[in-house]
């Protein structure tokens, strides 16, 4: 039996959704980081309205482009780099964070639940991001927990509950409490995600 789909926005606070839109409404720069094969390149291809090519990403430059919202607003996304998720790329995170107004971080929530080594690596990066964003108010971090479709038919609400239970004792729990749970292979969810970010 398939789970009842709960809109992504239901799990986000109104204030956080408003904060996202305030940061992105004036053509701010967008940085994309995260774990290997966590949906970064697919999301970027969706925003750019170009075909997604399923390959391992090392480091791809992407040009400035315009994203048009459903209401017709034009959002400029500045040029940047789409880095792969291997450990070696963590040294580039500081540069991306420095140059970007909004930073998106992707990780595979299914692997986080089921692969202890993956979880430890994610936690290490969460700790790094906590150190980078703890005292920063002029930048915004948006986390995407992807591959929700692989979580044993769990509803996003339950996925959120289980994830928060795993991080409840971590110092970075407040930083990532507004994580967005999404299946990036689902076009309808990507469209809903776009409305959350860019409406």
Residue 163 domain boundaries: 22-75+84-198
CATH of the domain at 64: 3.40.50.300
Does the pLDDT value for residue 116 go beyond 80? yes
Q: What is the pLDDT of residues 18-70, one digit of tens each?
A: 777 777 766 677 788 888 888 888 888 888 888 887 766 555 667 778 877 77
Average pLDDT over residues 128-146: 82
Q: Is the separation of the CB atoms in 4 and 155 below 8 Å?
A: yes
pLDDT tens track for 55-108: 665 556 677 788 777 777 777 776 666 565 556 666 678 878 888 888 889 999
Residue 9 lies in a domain: no
13 within some domain: no
The pLDDT confidence band at residue 6, using thresholds 50, 70 and 90, is very low
Strand partners, 104: 32, 142
Domain-located, residue 4: no
Residue 186 belongs to a domain: yes
For residue 9, is pLDDT > 50?
no
Is 169 part of a structural domain of the chain? yes
For the chain, report the end-to-end CA distance as a whole number of angstroms: 33
């Amino acid at each position: 039996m398939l789970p009842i789909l709960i809109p992504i926005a239901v799990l986000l606070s109104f204030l956080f959704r408003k904060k996202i839109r305030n940061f992105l409404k004036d053509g701010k720069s967008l940085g994309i980081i995260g774990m290997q094969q966590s949906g970064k390149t697919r999301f970027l291809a969706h925003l750019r309205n170009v075909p997604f090519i399923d390959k391992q990403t090392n480091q791809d430059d992407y040009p400035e482009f315009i994203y048009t919202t459903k209401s017709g607003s034009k959002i400029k996304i500045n040029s940047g780099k789409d880095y792969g998720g291997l450990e070696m790329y963590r040294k580039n995170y500081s540069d991306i964070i420095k140059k970007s107004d909004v930073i998106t971080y992707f990780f595979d929530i299914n692997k986080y639940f089921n692969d202890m080594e993956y979880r430890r690596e994610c936690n290490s990066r969460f700790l790094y991001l906590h150190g980078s964003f703890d005292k920063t108010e002029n930048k915004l971090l948006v986390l995407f927990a992807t591959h929700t479709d692989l979580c044993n038919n769990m509803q996003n609400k339950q996925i959120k509950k289980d994830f928060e239970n795993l991080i409840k004792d971590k110092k970075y729990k407040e930083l990532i409490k507004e994580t967005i749970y999404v299946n990036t292979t689902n076009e309808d969810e990507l469209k809903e995600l776009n409305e959350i970010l860019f409406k």
